[in-house]
Amino acid sequence: MPASTNNGIETWRLRTSKEQWIRWVCWLIGIAIIMYAWQMISEKTIWFFVADAPNQAADISSRMVPPKWSYMAKLWKPVWDTINIATIGTIMAMAIAVPVAFATARNTTPNIVVRTIGLFVIVSSRSVNSLIWALILVFILGPGVLAGTIAIGLRSVGFCAKLIYESIEEIDHTQVEAIEATGASGSQKMIFGILPQVLPTIAGVGIYRWDINIRESTILGLVGAGGIGLQLNGSLNTLAWTQVSLILIVILVTVFISEWVSAKVRGAII
Amino acid sequence: MTDSSEIGTYPSSWKKAPFIKNSFVRWLIIVGGAIYLAAALGTMNIDLERVKEGLPRAQRFLEAFFPPNFSDNRGVLWEGIAESIWMAIISTVAGIALSIPIGLGAARNLAPAWVYLFCRGIIAASRTFPEIILAIFAVKLFGFGPFAGFIALSLGTIGFYAKLLAEDIENSSASQAEAVKATGANWFQWVNYSIQPQVMPRMIGLSIYRLDINFRESAVVGIVGGGGIGATLNTSFSRYEFDTAAAILIIIILIVMFMEYTSSFFRKWVQ
């Protein structure tokens, strides 16, 4: 037990002196990095604008009310597009992610080369944000819903595959062994031994990702990839603040509904 | 022993049990899903001509990506990366500093009902809007540059970190908390010695994970003017400097891989 001796009396302490010193040095380094980072950011900041922010905030919020409710008539189609981008993108992602996950999981991978490729696919899909995918795809496929859908799909592959392959690695092996003992082939083992164990995870991950994708697909329009973001971008560029506030409300409601649906469905599955 | 009628009724083949047991619900989902997919694909306006036109373009585009150009002609590449890293660090720290009181307030077993509802409200608001939308408004308010990105990412961090912190506190063992309370600890001592040690390991892991997310997000807040590598990336796309864009994407992927590796190492070390 760490203790310090003071005038011959031992007093309890949480840490030994050495631990205390190590912690102190770590804190010093951490704070130095943070101060340096702050310095770098503040160098590039025009503080006059920052000081003006409360006025700007008051100005913008006074322009944003009341929301232009009549604009709603033009928003139904973009909302529908946004939901489609998320849904079809998620379906596409799951179709790719499940095989990738099986190829990557340590206990189902055919060999180390395939596993490495799988891991690389997962990391690169996860590292590049859907907005950047959309930026690239708009160049290739032209602006529109298709570019957004594929962007969402590509972005989601890594996330879904990672969660699925982790759950494949954690399955109960006795069940697979039991199937194997009946003389099942490799693919039968996969279908009857492994798949039933991970199916709830696959469904859960799909629903969870769908919920995230609804949120992400609301912004893809900023780079021209369809959905309600297009309207948002247009309204921001034309300084139509009453439309902006309506769009934000619509996004809020859509996200809340999708979150509710996702929670309900996941509750029913798991 | 067995007579033939019994053999007849015994099923000779086995069928896998369906995933959804109620057959009505199962068919409802299948038919509803099919109708929805048809409607969705029907209204998507996929212009196959345009896609066909795009394919050779995709090939040229990918060719333009290689070889990636790390030479940094305009001297902005490394500056952008550095800016992104600083932005990610400072916004993670600020976001977590803001998240701790909100997370404590949003834990049902610590806070009174009105504080709980207030803090949950903040979390819900922060979670709803993607960082990009927060960044658009931050740019409008604070002007172009990394400060706007910093504000957007910090606010985004609250929704993530405070929520997980609150959930972790709610799941922490009540008996330990009770034991510390029984010694006559005041509220701060109680939180410090009974709750904090229980949630700390997971929270350190999550803060590194959030740093990783913030770095990735800092690559996109630049698209709307929030500074960082995203601004550089966007510029190189608009200038058709695809080799530079490829270099940026590769650097982002490498940094994220490095962070993922360190975060798993850190988490093992903390636990």
User: In Å, how far are A70, A238, A252, A258, B223 from A75, measured between CA atoms?
Assistant: 10, 17, 14, 17, 24
Mean pLDDT (whole number) for B53-77: 75
Find the DSSP H helices in B106-145. Answer: 113-128, 131-142
| CATH code of the domain containing A82 | 1.10.3720.10
Q: Which of A14, A31, A40, A237 to mutate to test the interface with B (most CBs of B within 10 A)?
A: A40
Mean pLDDT over each residue of chain B, to the nearest integer: 82
Are the Cβ atoms of B16 and A256 closer than 8 angstroms? no
**A40: domain range?**
3-52
- Residues B31, B159, single domain; the answer is no
- Give the closest of A38, A128, A131 to B252, CB-based: A128
Interchain proximity A236–B16, CB inside 8 Å: no
A141 vs B contacts (CB less than 8 Å): 50-51, 54, 58
Which of A132, A125, A135, A101 has the alpha carbon at shortest distance from A115? A101
Query: Which residues in chain A are contacts of B45 at CB distance < 8 A?
Result: 144-145
Residue B14 falls inside a structural domain: no
Residue B270: what pLDDT? 66
ipTM above 0.85, yes or no: no
Give the count of domains, chain A: 2
* pLDDT tens, residue by residue, B216-233: 888 888 888 877 888 888
How many folded domains does chain B comprise? 2
Distance from CA of B109 to the nearest CA of A (A): 23
- Cβ pair A256:B133 closer than 8 A: no
Which pLDDT belongs to residue B55?
77
Task: List, as one string, the DSSP characters of B188-257.
Answer: HHHIIIIIHHHHHHHHHHHHHHHHHHHHHHHHHHGGGT--SHHHHHHHHHHTT-HHHHHHHHHHHHHHHH
pLDDT band at residue B205 under the 50/70/90 scheme: confident
A66 prior amide bond cis, ω within 30: yes
Q: Which residue has the higher pLDDT, B134 or B51?
A: B134
Residues B101, B195, single domain; the answer is: yes
Interface test with B, best of A45, A211, A218 (most B CBs within 10 A): A45
Q: What is the mean pLDDT of residues B8-32?
A: 76
Q: If you average pLDDT over each of B124-128, B158-162, B208-212, which comes out highest?
A: B158-162
Q: How far apart are CA B219 and CA B84, in angstroms?
A: 7
Looking at the structure, do residues A195 and A243 belong to the same domain, yes or no?
yes
Pair (B50, B106) in one structural domain: no
CB B218 within 8 A of CB B90: no
What pLDDT is recorded for position A91? Answer: 92
Answer yes or no: do B88 and B126 share one domain. Answer: yes
**Quick one: pLDDT at residue B271?**
60
- Closest by Cβ to B90, choosing from A41, A87, A216: A41
Low-confidence ranges of chain A (pLDDT < 70): 1-2, 270
In a domain, B92, yes or no: yes
A119 and A240, same domain (yes or no): yes
CATH number at residue B233: 1.10.3720.10
pTM (2 d.p.): 0.79
Q: How confident is the model at residue B98 (pLDDT cuts 50, 70, 90)?
A: very high
- DSSP-derived letter for residue B47 is -
Q: What is the pLDDT of residue B93?
A: 92
* Structural contact between residues B141 and B162, judged by C-beta atoms closer than 8 angstroms: no
Chain B nearest C-alpha distance from A193 (Å): 12
Does residue B163 fall inside a structural domain?
yes
Interface contact flag, A132 B136, Cβ < 8 Å: no
pLDDT band at B1 (very low <50, low <70, confident <90, very high): very low
The answer to whether residue A69 is domain-embedded is: no
Whether residue B60 lies inside any domain: the answer is yes
Average pLDDT over residues B8-31: 75
Q: Is the pLDDT of residue B171 over 60?
A: yes
The residues in B 85-114 lying below 8 A from A, measured between CB atoms, are 85-87, 89-90, 93
Task: Residue B107: give the domain boundaries.
Answer: 77-270
Are residues A130 and A253 located together in one domain of the fold?
A: yes
Distance from CA of A12 to the nearest CA of B (A): 14
Main-chain dihedrals φ then ψ at residue B47, nearest 5 degrees: -95, 95
Asked if A140 lies within 8 A of B220 by C-beta distance, the reply is no
| Token pair 């819900």: residue | B124
Q: What is the dihedral of CA B27, B31, B37, B39, to 10 degrees?
A: -160
